[in-house]
Structure 1
Amino acid sequence: MTSIIKLHCLSGAGDETPPCYVLQIDEFKFLLDCGWDEKFDMEFIKELKRHINTIDAVLISHSDPVHLGALPYAVGKLGLNCPIYATLPVYKMGQMFMYDLYQAHRNVSEFDLFTLDDVDAAFDRIVQLKYNQSIDMKGKGLGLRITPLPAGHSLGGTVWRIAAPGEEDIVYAPDFNHKKERHLNGCEIERLMRPSLMLLGAMNADYVQQRRRLRDEKLMTTILSTLRGGGCVLVCTDTAGRVLELAHMLDQLWRNKDSGLVAYSLLLLSNVSYNVVEFAKSQIEWMSDKLTRAFEGARSNPFALRHLQLCHSVGEVSRTPGPKVVLASFPDLESGFARDLFLLWAPNPQNSIVLTARTSPGTLARDLIEKGGDRTLELTVRRRVRLEGAELEEFMQNQRVKVNNTVNMVGSREESGGISSDSDSDGELEMWVVTGKHDIPVRHDVRAAGCFKSNKRHHAMYPFHEERTRADDYGEMIKPEDYRLAEIVDAEGEIRDVPPAPIPKQEPEEEMTEIPSKCISSTRQVQIKANIQYIELEGRCDGESLLRVVTQAKPRAIVGLRAHRGALQTLKKHCEAEGIEKIYIPSAGEVIDATTESHIYQVKLTDSLMSGLAWRSAGDAELAWLSAQLVPRASQRENATAIEEATSDVSMSLEAQAAGGAHAASFVNALRLSELRAALHRLGLSSEFSGGALECCNGTLAIRRLENGRVALEGVLSEEYYKVRELLYEQFAIV
């Protein structure tokens, strides 16, 4: 069986935008990744919204926002409600990425694209898989099977293999690394042999990468020279992906006493740094064979980082004395703690800024990589500051007005029917008195005459919630956050780690849940005097290795995704030289028809057509004669029309033709004369083979097979003749 395969590129085609594709296999639609970049492009969201109700499953390949950043918005705002498949580390670390992204923007702006509840709702829908664990799709996807394979690049990173009906394999590999790293194995290339279609991320197709030893030496030299010169080093990295490779490598350097780094501080700065390290400790089985063996043998956890200090605010970094190395998120320098430290440290020539990833075009990091430093940039500085003076008084006045309005609403409710009565089954009168906080039921006894004691229920009390003390085996559990110092304002006057304000219970009108603040934005001239170094630590295949993987996999068709035009042309030339049959280079919004067979179409059968068919049983199946014509199908739903227009898919249907002449009967079955002889014997008719024919009824009838494969009945017309003919007809499905 051959499937109809189409790929709709919503984003990540013809350029370096985040990957997001709709893969249609017959009637089943996969959403391959759901990325969002630092620009939060809403045009891409509009395109995604048109398909959101038709998606049957989502496959996530990596945990960073480039691959799943729009997932909370799709679930929380667009209503995506299908299963989402990802590996366990992608589930864990993806949450850390999105928590950090949300908090980084909330620290400096009124970010409202999605909430933490949307993040939780999105990740609650994820079905967690292990490597090489196959899952069969159901319903419309009957016959489809998905399997996650190791991809390298990030913890839990996945290359998806989709097995379609007809022994067709589709491989989706947006980002992968075939080389082993310190904490990860490489991808399993041998499992990608000869797919019918390969969806390949070609970003590095024309990229020449330095050897890892040279990159490590460059990083070491930059760190040592800067620290010994009295400066600080800012390493711009991500939240929970490539930062693990960097943290593991630098902690090993700090452990080496001969390196001379023990005297300096090594910091990891993000909103979720503690959780990231704790999750990494519990996911050793997903890491490299070397780390797994070390843990199994000596029980040494590679992420018990003794020299790495975890920080959650710029204030903690500022209070750490002396030169230091800080791993801060995010690598694009558009938001987060990395941008905050960049604004502080860039004007000092003693400091160094290390960029580890080529982020999207137009970002500050990409601009520094392409044009370098030692210049003045005009940057937008956003921050959140406390309200003071008249603004604070106005805010407090608004709070009082809100509380008074609430009290007035309660009072009006009491006057208009807040006190109601009802008679219960015990003959007692029950009254409800409405207060500002709770509805308090007050019961009045109505004593019935008689000598028997009434069965009265207990009086309703004020609601009371008992807080039970949580304790471990050794006593009460200690919460570290109870002992942390409140950090209200850091060196730049920005709010970081602000604890909730105490709620005065005596005066409800003064009740506040957070410190009043506002977001301000200004433009600043920033002189970049610090040493800017680009050291590529993305953990992706370089150009030579990427093309070698294509040669070894030998796909029958390949689609080049998420790369600039130069890289895509390099991939195309290589595929033509290797004799690959089909090469697709799509653009954003384009639909690729990757169906293997050239003359195969998908049509709809109308209800009027199906109701007029006469079905005949043929073994385990049923057959019917169909006489219809192919016509364009009129869409009955507006959203279906929009999707058909978006995918440029002309939907066709079969409709019954007008009544015409009768067609010649077709006999469907491969009849065996031996089976017919057994059927005759059951009817009590004698039969035997003679001269290649089956003679029956004392030689008066003969059944023989003709040269064209048909069966002929010869003999004298009699009662037995019609019995044999009827039995012969029963051996066929006649349509």
Structure 2
Amino acid sequence: MFNFTPLLGAQSSSPASQSILEFEGGIKALIDVGWDESFDVEELKGLERQVSTLSFILLTHATTAHLGAFAHCCKHFPLFTRIPVYATLPVISLGRTLLQDLYASTPLASSTIPKDALSESAFSLPFRDGNPNILLQPPTSDEIASYFSLINPLKYSQPHQPLPSPFSPPLGGLTITAYSAGHTLGGTIWHIQHGLESIVYAVDWNQAREHVLAGAAWLGGAGTGGSEVLEQLRRPTAMICSSRGAGPVALAGGRNKRDEALLSMIRDTVEAGGSVLIPSDSSARVLELAYLLEETWHADTSGRGGNGSLQNAKVFLASRTGGATMRYVRSMLEWMEEGIVKEFETASGILDNQDQRRTRNQQASKTNGDKPSAPFDFKHIKLLERRSQVNRMLGTAGPKVILASDTSLEWGFSRDTARSLASDPRNLVIMTQRVGGVPGRDKGLGEFLWDLWNQQRSQNETASAVIVDTTGKEVVVQRAQTVPLEGTELPLYQEYLARQRQLQTTLQGDASASIETTADVVDDRSSSTSTTSEDTDMEHQGKVLNTTATMQHTRNKLGLSDAELGINILIRRKNVHDYEVRGKKGREKMFPYVSKRRRADDFGDLIRPEDYLRAEERDEVDGEDMRDGGPKKENEVGQKRKWDDPGLRNVDGARRMPNTANKRRRAGTGASHDMMDSIEHADTESEASDSDFEEGPNTVEGPSKLVLEPETIRLNCRISFVDFSGLHDRRSIQMLVPLIKPRKLILVAGDETDTSEVAEDCRRLMGAGPGQPEGGIDIFTPAVGMTIDASVDTNAWTVKLSRTMAKKLHWQKVKGLGVVAITGQLQAANLDDDIKLEGGAKKKLKSASGDLSGPTSKQANSDADVTPVLDVIPANMAASARSVAQPFHVGDLRLADLRRIMQSSGMSAEFRGEGTLVINGTVAVRKSATGQIEIDGGAYSMADPRNTEAGTFFKVKRKIYEGLAVVAGV
């Protein structure tokens, strides 16, 4: 049994993706926890109802559409953190930086409390006409890191049996395997095997190779030569595929034409003195764009392959977590395209051949900046992680190319940059992905620009690379701000928190301690909780917490009043230094103390990477100037500092400059111009850090609400579109679906037009529908919330084997399964057999407690198993019913394994042509699309058929049979 239910993203313009896969036995898997730019909690209602029934969760891509709601669910949905989650390592790392950037950029990500959740309160009378837009507590950066640390990393092509959640039925040997999907770094096509069900989940994939990313693993099978689909992904019982990328017509010429179109528009704009804004995400497709721009600027400025037109333009990458993202990416080269790995090996080899006695600065001055750099070790792209840096960059004159997050222009630095560049007709905004609308919501800036460009393109009847002038256009956008709660809003919010706390305690029960144990990672870093279980084993952690301590620990997570905090207000509230202790008793009279647990892993104490940075890397770490030993803040009452800390300023704003900075300035005379720039502006960069914090979305301490203010933007710039989404097109689907040959095809992740067009193409290619000849498939196009029964259509039944039959069977092991061929007689279940077998036990029961009552026996008979029994054929019928079938071979021998076996036997074996294995130059072994092995031997391979040891043909044939299981009939 297999049922599929799309929770989000089916026949909808919203890019969010959430799907429920249900298997036999009540097993439910959630694939993706996506969200769209509206961040509406109403979209998560369907998921919230399914949380208590989920067995495990799978994540496919590190994008908002696939995991944007992951941190929200972990923080606000009870039991969600107890569900095992699986993803590849790049999805885990890049997803973490994506959500940290998201929650640091906009208060919309916090989401507001639904109106119906506040309607039951006694304070809700003034809000009958509208929603007060009270914000939920957003997860902090440390909390997001702790949530993603719970995800189990997997590698490609690694079969894995997931662990079920505590409230899930047994998984019964269910196996998951991740395959490369392209599109994003670590993007995944999931293969799920459960019994007879073989499910392939392929949403948002890309078959084409790019600069950074390899293509999807459809044609990646060993020995196939790239002409056949990977064997594990071939002939699935059901395939879930996306139809989103089939709408726009791709630019003819592939990747080269796409890159040429983008770069030509950039060059034309820069030569005219304008600036270019390229909105992109902060962790996925931005890698492809950043790599292309870095390589282009390097070639243009060095005089190799460029005309020097870009030398006067600077390139910027504006993202709050851009530095962390690039650090993660530089450690994941094995997940990228092979050319990236070769480039890194070349750069490493050249550096190793240089004189090791020179320092890094001497090497840099000696080579005049021409030394090869590793991928994503940018020399021409400058990272901007703070709002003050972005404002300073926008205030400088000259052409600029700005790569900013996010694609939707609804949040992030791309929104601020677009507002600044919109007034100049020389500037150009290049959209790289199609921006879909959110149903029931006003158009945002990104959607407005996309519709405007798409309309002009349709009129010009041109596929792509059209530049549209927006002079005179106006767009009204909503600007989100946070303000403190006022009036009856605060008690309304506190009552809501109390209800949620009670609900969470009720649902979690005694097991809530394990959830709080995972959250202790956050508390250890902020020193907000204490624990003395340093030497306790991991398997016993959390069990010593009783219900009272757990509830108190949960309340510390939520925001309490000053009275409820008590003496802990001195460490839980900022700028609170006095507490009245007269009349208090016990711990309320003593200053609270928090013992820090020494954190360590299997290799010892945890290492802080910022302690090992080079001098040129210490200027900016996490948006703060680390050159002088830490962030600089104003002196305040009660603020602690060390005696030798020179970073704190006096009240009048004066700041002492340490001698080390002056020495570094004098020592850096031979450094590059960019490094001198960063050193000279170190003071202004650090002074802007305080203002950055004040401008962020979380500046309001305590409970707050969302206020949307309309803002009119007058457009005079130009807009264009180049498809850098990295999604499959219609041609890829038309080519691969007939090769994959799924029995059932389910189309999701696309609007109604795209879905219907792809469905019609597949029906025409595959002859889909009932009554069609063999090879036809069933195609489903479900809507959101619709359940599809896509169970496998096979003749399989459950029977019992009699004791006589079970004794005669000789099982053969094939890939962990027992296989045997039998000939028997099917009989109805005999209820009297159970009574005869258990007669002795029933007699003992009768002697101990009297006669067995009649109703009890009838009840036992009614509850008995009525599964039919397969028994041996009686002797008088055995001669007439004797099977004439010969023993057959069962198994699947891969050509790569056969090649290794032949080589270990002393024979030469090599692949030639399209998936052909040639042995000793005389015998060719091929494997057809149906799995049949064909052996073609020449005359020289069978020179002496009687000599089986010498003939290559018979040796190969024997080795193939040895790799299969011989199943004989019974």
Q: Show the counterpart of 2:7.
A: 10
* Structure 1 position 119, deviation (Å): 2.2
**Residues 22, 296 of structure 1: CA spacing in aligned structure 2 closer, same or farther, 3 A cutoff?**
same
* Structure 1 position 521, deviation (Å): 4.5
Q: Show the counterpart of 1:670.
A: 872
**Residues 668, 264 of structure 1: CA spacing in aligned structure 2 closer, same or farther, 3 A cutoff?**
closer
Q: Show the counterpart of 1:699.
A: none
Q: Show the counterpart of 1:505.
A: 638
Matched, 1:209 2:250: yes
Matched, 1:20 2:45: no
Q: Does the CA-based 8 Å contact 2:179-2:188 persist in structure 1?
A: yes
**TM-score normalised to the size of structure 2?**
0.53
**Residues 601, 353 of structure 1: CA spacing in aligned structure 2 closer, same or farther, 3 A cutoff?**
farther
Matched, 1:86 2:87: yes
Moved more, 67-76 or 104-113: 104-113
Distance 2:192 2:383 in 1: 40
Q: Show the counterpart of 1:698.
A: none
Structure 1, unpaired ranges of 5+: 387-400, 419-431, 440-462, 487-496, 603-612, 629-654, 673-702, 711-735
| Structure 2 residue identity aligned to 1:141 | L
Distance 2:781 2:314 in 1: 48
Q: Show the counterpart of 2:787.
A: 591
* Structure 1 position 274, deviation (Å): 0.7
Distance 1:404 1:199 in 2: 51
Q: Show the counterpart of 1:240.
A: 283
* Larger-Rg structure: 1
Identify the match of residue 262 of structure 2 among 219, 225, 243: 219
* Structure 1 position 41, deviation (Å): 2.8
**Residues 327, 558 of structure 1: CA spacing in aligned structure 2 closer, same or farther, 3 A cutoff?**
same
Distance 2:794 2:10 in 1: 24
Matched, 1:115 2:191: no
**Residues 475, 280 of structure 1: CA spacing in aligned structure 2 closer, same or farther, 3 A cutoff?**
closer
| Structure 2 residue identity aligned to 1:183 | V
Matched, 1:197 2:273: no
Distance 1:224 1:472 in 2: 41
Q: Show the counterpart of 1:169.
A: 198
Distance 2:867 2:91 in 1: 60
Q: Show the counterpart of 2:585.
A: 417
Q: Show the counterpart of 1:34.
A: 33
Q: Show the counterpart of 1:720.
A: none
% identical aligned pairs? 28
Q: Show the counterpart of 2:380.
A: 307
* Structure 1 position 363, deviation (Å): 3.8
Distance 1:34 1:482 in 2: 30
**Structure 1 residues 390-438: Cα deviation after superposition (integer angstroms, max 9, x where no partner):** xxxxxxxxxxx969996799977652533xxxxxxxxxxxxx7923445
| Within-5 A mapping of 1:694-709 | none
**Residues 220, 591 of structure 1: CA spacing in aligned structure 2 closer, same or farther, 3 A cutoff?**
same
Distance 2:65 2:256 in 1: 28
Distance 1:303 1:506 in 2: 40
Distance 2:596 2:109 in 1: 39
* Structure 1 position 370, deviation (Å): 1.5
| Structure 1 residue identity aligned to 2:281 | D
**Residues 556, 438 of structure 1: CA spacing in aligned structure 2 closer, same or farther, 3 A cutoff?**
closer
Distance 2:568 2:325 in 1: 48
**Residues 196, 354 of structure 1: CA spacing in aligned structure 2 closer, same or farther, 3 A cutoff?**
same
Matched, 1:141 2:174: no
Distance 1:595 1:307 in 2: 54
Q: Show the counterpart of 1:651.
A: none
| Within-5 A mapping of 1:538-687 | 538-577=725-764, 578-579=766-767, 580-597=776-793, 619=806, 625=829, 669-670=871-872
* Structure 1 position 314, deviation (Å): 3.6
Q: Show the counterpart of 1:264.
A: 313
Q: Does the CA-based 8 Å contact 1:379-1:526 persist in structure 2?
A: yes
| Structure 2 residue identity aligned to 1:170 | I
Distance 2:285 2:276 in 1: 18
Q: Does the CA-based 8 Å contact 1:31-1:55 persist in structure 2?
A: yes
Distance 1:531 1:663 in 2: 74
| Within-5 A mapping of 1:255-334 | 255-256=298-299, 257=301, 258-299=307-348, 300-320=373-393, 321=396, 322-334=398-410
Distance 2:42 2:50 in 1: 14
**Structure 1 residues 567-593: Cα deviation after superposition (integer angstroms, max 9, x where no partner):** 112222122222232000100010000
Q: Show the counterpart of 1:378.
A: 476
- What is the SS of the residue equivalent to 2:144? helix
**Residues 505, 86 of structure 1: CA spacing in aligned structure 2 closer, same or farther, 3 A cutoff?**
same
Distance 1:665 1:98 in 2: 52
* Structure 1 position 541, deviation (Å): 1.1
- What is the SS of the residue equivalent to 1:204? helix
Q: Does the CA-based 8 Å contact 1:108-1:384 persist in structure 2?
A: no
- What is the SS of the residue equivalent to 2:136? coil
| Structure 1 residue identity aligned to 2:145 | D
- What is the SS of the residue equivalent to 1:253? helix
- What is the SS of the residue equivalent to 2:327? helix
Identify the match of residue 249 of structure 1 among 289, 292, 296: 292
**Structure 1 residues 613-653: Cα deviation after superposition (integer angstroms, max 9, x where no partner):** 9x9897589x994779xxxxxxxxxxxxxxxxxxxxxxxxx
* Structure 1 position 671, deviation (Å): 7.7
Matched, 1:69 2:68: yes
Distance 1:464 1:162 in 2: 43
Distance 1:39 1:544 in 2: 32
| Structure 1 residue identity aligned to 2:787 | V
Distance 1:331 1:315 in 2: 21
**TM-score normalised to the size of structure 1?**
0.69
* Structure 1 position 268, deviation (Å): 0.3
Structure 2, unpaired ranges of 5+: 111-133, 165-169, 219-228, 302-306, 349-372, 438-442, 454-469, 485-560, 570-577, 600-604, 641-689, 701-705, 768-775, 809-826, 833-856, 883-970
- What is the SS of the residue equivalent to 1:547? helix
| Within-5 A mapping of 1:181-192 | 181-189=210-218, 190-191=229-230, 192=233
Distance 1:249 1:366 in 2: 26
**Residues 574, 89 of structure 1: CA spacing in aligned structure 2 closer, same or farther, 3 A cutoff?**
same
**Structure 1 residues 75-113: Cα deviation after superposition (integer angstroms, max 9, x where no partner):** 221131211111111111011111111111149988636
- What is the SS of the residue equivalent to 2:244? coil
**Residues 153, 113 of structure 1: CA spacing in aligned structure 2 closer, same or farther, 3 A cutoff?**
farther
- What is the SS of the residue equivalent to 2:779? strand
* Number of residue equivalences: 576
Distance 2:195 2:430 in 1: 49
* Structure 1 position 367, deviation (Å): 2.1
Distance 1:248 1:43 in 2: 38
| Structure 2 residue identity aligned to 1:201 | S
Q: Does the CA-based 8 Å contact 1:16-1:203 persist in structure 2?
A: no
Q: How large is the Cα RMSD of the aligned pairs?
A: 4.4
**Residues 170, 282 of structure 1: CA spacing in aligned structure 2 closer, same or farther, 3 A cutoff?**
same
Identify the match of residue 435 of structure 1 among 590, 614, 628: 590
Distance 1:382 1:158 in 2: 34
Distance 2:61 2:622 in 1: 36
* Structure 1 position 313, deviation (Å): 2.5
Q: Does the CA-based 8 Å contact 2:445-2:477 persist in structure 1?
A: no
- What is the SS of the residue equivalent to 2:245? coil
* Structure 1 position 40, deviation (Å): 1.5
- What is the SS of the residue equivalent to 1:249? helix
- What is the SS of the residue equivalent to 1:325? strand
Q: Does the CA-based 8 Å contact 1:73-1:118 persist in structure 2?
A: no
- What is the SS of the residue equivalent to 1:152? coil
**Residues 301, 338 of structure 1: CA spacing in aligned structure 2 closer, same or farther, 3 A cutoff?**
same
**Structure 1 residues 16-61: Cα deviation after superposition (integer angstroms, max 9, x where no partner):** 3311111011121110111001111323211111111111111111
- What is the SS of the residue equivalent to 2:585? helix
Q: Show the counterpart of 1:126.
A: 151
- What is the SS of the residue equivalent to 2:246? coil
Q: Show the counterpart of 2:502.
A: none
**Structure 1 residues 215-250: Cα deviation after superposition (integer angstroms, max 9, x where no partner):** 322222221222222221111000011111001101
- What is the SS of the residue equivalent to 2:344? helix
